[in-house]
Amino acid sequence: MKILVTAKRTPDPYSKIKLKPDGSGIDTSNIKFVINSFDEIAIEEGLRKKEKFGGEVVVVSIGTQECVEQIRTALAMGADRGILVDTGGRYLDQLGVAKILARIVEDEKPDLVILGKQAIDDDANQVSQILAELLGWPQATFASKVDIDLNSKKAVVEREVDGGIEVDEVSLPAVISADLRLNQPRYASLPGIMKARQKPLKTVKIEDLKVDVSPSVEVLKFEAPPQRQGGKKVKDVDELIQALKESKVLPF
Amino acid sequence: MNFGDSQELQMVRETAEKIYKKLEGKRHEIFQKIKRNEFVQEIWDEIAEAGLLGAIIPPQYGGTGMGLLSTAIAVEELAKYGIGNALFVLTVVAESCIVRNGSEELKKKFLPDMASGKVKCALGVTEADAGTNTFRIKTHAIGKNGRYIINGEKTYITGADVADYILLIARTTPYSEVAKKGLPKMFGLSVFMVDLKSKGIKITKLGTRGIEGMNQCTVVFEDVEVPAENLIGQEDQGVWVMFNGLNPERILAGAGAVGLSEFCLRKAVEYAKERKVFGEKPIGAYQAIQHPLADVKIRQESTRLVVYKSAWAYDMELPPQEIMFLANCAKYLSAELLLYAVDRAIQTLGGAGFMEDNFLIILWDSARLLKTAPVSNEMILNLTAEHILGLPRSY
């Protein structure tokens, strides 16, 4: 079974994000970059399915040459080969990213694409859905459990929804997006890191894919969320209820 | 010259960080075990799974050959979160002796199991009358019929109660004979891998403190049989085998101390930013608090450089004298650094510094131990004066 997974380069969720003074983006000077946490879960799921059914895990990253770091980490975790789509630093919106992935899928013809449900930088949560639509494939998003039956070529996917757990069945090939509780990603062991040296990593220039990625979304400005205002101390429960009513938290 | 991490070393750092995150949920449980001097198997298992025990072992014997520098970086990173394991370091010491001096047979016999974490190894050098002065070792091994018979007593042996093997240094030629024949006094010692479950071994725990979750023990050998193939290197030439292992021990002890100093700094800085005593300014605004912490940071960076350089020198197989000098620098500076760092962190936290849950007062024991072991800082000064500066031997 051939599985395609993604590895977006995002700031470490534990790092402190500072904005550039002109609001044009975040200040990346003191920031560590890692694989998007949800993509890491997607990679882990791909590896587990490969370990169970055999086959290959191909990891794709779209961005600058620096994304090689994230691809190498995925290879050290156990993926078999990497593809870097070098954007030369140009801005892509979610449609552009999905179009590029669709193009790669056409070439690679995987049985399954697993992506993180969203990236922890822009939290857009759109690429997997758009990709499924572009490919005309079934999709199961926010997966918390994935079971595959190779004979019937089907995946049974559990999704955590507000009311409980929804179970979907999709035929393969399909697009699945990984939620937080799907698995606990492994770390790259030293033997894995050494093996990654030998694994193939192909770089594709974005121009060579002949895909129209001109963005339909324009980023105007980055703004920090407003500073939290200090709270108010109340004497007793009565005063608390009164205050909640005044601030319209309590409807009656 | 390149001082930056390679991408692979960066990945090793991330792996160490992920080990911490994986263990974070069991933090309380682990802390209680350490307090009870109980071996923390969970930490050992993660270290093994990450392949950290195989870093200096070549691929044909189950390791990666990534090198001591990657091990040092992992030890440092784990220590930043207060995670350490002395048997990890001691097992690497034994590996080093076998990798650089062992026969092909011995390598095949031990290295794969050591790389996978199946075999934990303690280090048996110190005796009641011989620690720093290794030549006075009395434990002896007599070779006959394809095996050695060992008799003697070792003391302050870290982790002997949980280890599977002990890397043992023993006399194979009595000192009197060495003296009589006019041989160099380094002659006559040999190094063995001895199964701690062998008949005739008695282990007694000592009431020492300072090593996380581990006991120091007395190990008595009474007619203990060891297969001749477990001899590392040549008979009577064990001192040179041992020197190969003592360097990584000092280097990794240094790496751990650098990491722990960062653990102290984080605690202290975090506290100093929040704690207010006089008015609205946090105590971190006072020079009396911030200057010592800045001082620790500067000492830490310089110590880290020499730790990395010494690990690099080991990996490059530079001449032994050079590796030993750098390893001694690393150990000396790191012992001074760590004790100072713990002291300043406790001072910053005031009363809270003595709360066990803040871990600083517990760390005090370990930090103090590092000035004494694996080699005392005074002995490092002696060795440096004599062998590096060419001054007369003072002792």
pLDDT(B134) > 90: no
Q: From CA A173, how far away is CA B295, in angstroms rounded?
A: 59
Domain total in chain A: 1
Q: What's the residue count for chain A?
A: 252
Q: Are B219 and B169 in contact (CB under 8 A)?
A: no
Q: How confident is the model at residue B144 (pLDDT cuts 50, 70, 90)?
A: confident
Taking a contact as any Cβ pair under 8 Å apart, which residues of chain A between 80 and 139 contact chain B? none
pLDDT digits (tens, 9 = 90+) for A123-172: 999 999 999 999 999 999 999 999 999 999 999 999 988 889 999 999 99
Partnered with residue A4 across adjacent β-strands are: A58, A113
Q: Hey, what domains does chain B have and what are their CATH numbers?
A: 7-120 (1.10.540.10), 122-236 (2.40.110.10), 240-388 (1.20.140.10)
Give B51 to chain A, closest Cα distance, Å: 5
ipTM: 0.87
Ramachandran region of residue B94, left (φ > 0), alpha (ψ -120 to 50) or beta?
Answer: alpha
* Beta carbons of B14 and A72 less than 8 Å apart: no
- Using DSSP, state whether A235 is helix, strand or coil: coil
**Domain for residue A243, yes or no?**
no
| Percent share of chain B, pLDDT over 90 | 81
Chain A residues near residue B52 by CB distance under 8 angstroms: 190
**Domain for residue A231, yes or no?**
no
pLDDT(B32) > 80: yes
Q: From CA B81, how far away is CA B51, in angstroms rounded?
A: 19
pLDDT digits (tens, 9 = 90+) for B159-186: 999 999 999 999 999 988 988 988 888 8
| CATH code of A177's domain | 3.40.50.620
**Domain for residue A181, yes or no?**
yes
* Beta carbons of A72 and B52 less than 8 Å apart: no
- Using DSSP, state whether B25 is helix, strand or coil: coil
Nearest chain B residue to A196, by CA: B8
Q: Which two tokens stand for residue B291?
A: 């200057």
Give the residue numbers spanning the domain of A53: 2-219
Nearest chain B residue to A186, by CA: B18
Chain A residues near residue B12 by CB distance under 8 angstroms: 190, 193
pLDDT digits (tens, 9 = 90+) for B35-51: 888 899 999 999 999 99
pLDDT(A251) > 80: no
pLDDT(B1) > 80: no
**Domain for residue A38, yes or no?**
yes
Partner A contacted by B22 (CB < 8 A): yes
A-B contacts at Cβ under 8 angstroms: 48
Q: From CA B219, how far away is CA B305, in angstroms rounded?
A: 37
Residue B185's pLDDT is 83
pLDDT(B352) > 90: yes
* Beta carbons of A187 and B15 less than 8 Å apart: yes
pLDDT(B145) > 80: yes
Give B74: exposed, middle or buried? Use CB within 10 Å, 0-12, 13-18, 19+.
Answer: buried
| Percent share of chain B, pLDDT over 70 | 100
Q: Which has the higher per-residue pLDDT, B364 or A233?
A: B364
**Domain for residue A234, yes or no?**
no
**Domain for residue A246, yes or no?**
no
Give A167 to chain B, closest Cα distance, Å: 29
Partner A contacted by B269 (CB < 8 A): no
Q: From CA A127, how far away is CA A96, in angstroms rounded?
A: 9
pLDDT digits (tens, 9 = 90+) for A53-94: 999 999 999 999 999 999 999 999 999 999 999 999 999 999
Among A69, A187, A190, the residue with its CB nearest the CB of B64 is A190
Q: From CA B170, how far away is CA B5, in angstroms rounded?
A: 40
Residue A246's pLDDT is 83
Q: Are B242 and B125 in contact (CB under 8 A)?
A: yes
Chain B residues near residue A34 by CB distance under 8 angstroms: 14
**Domain for residue A247, yes or no?**
no
**Domain for residue A91, yes or no?**
yes
- Torsion sign (Cα): B172, B174, B179, B181: negative
DSSP at A118: S
pLDDT(A224) > 90: no
CA dist B147 → A57, B143, B242, B385 (Å): 51, 6, 21, 41
pLDDT(B343) > 80: yes
Q: What is the mean pLDDT of residues B297-304?
A: 98
pTM (two decimals): 0.90
pLDDT digits (tens, 9 = 90+) for B197-229: 999 999 999 988 888 778 999 999 999 999 999
Q: Are strands A164-171 and A154-161 parallel, antiparallel or unpaired?
A: antiparallel
Partnered with residue A118 across adjacent β-strands are: none
Residue A252's pLDDT is 67
**Minimum mean pLDDT among A57-66, A208-217, A243-252: which range?**
A243-252
Chain A interface, best mutation among B11, B95, B114, by max A CB count within 10 A: B11
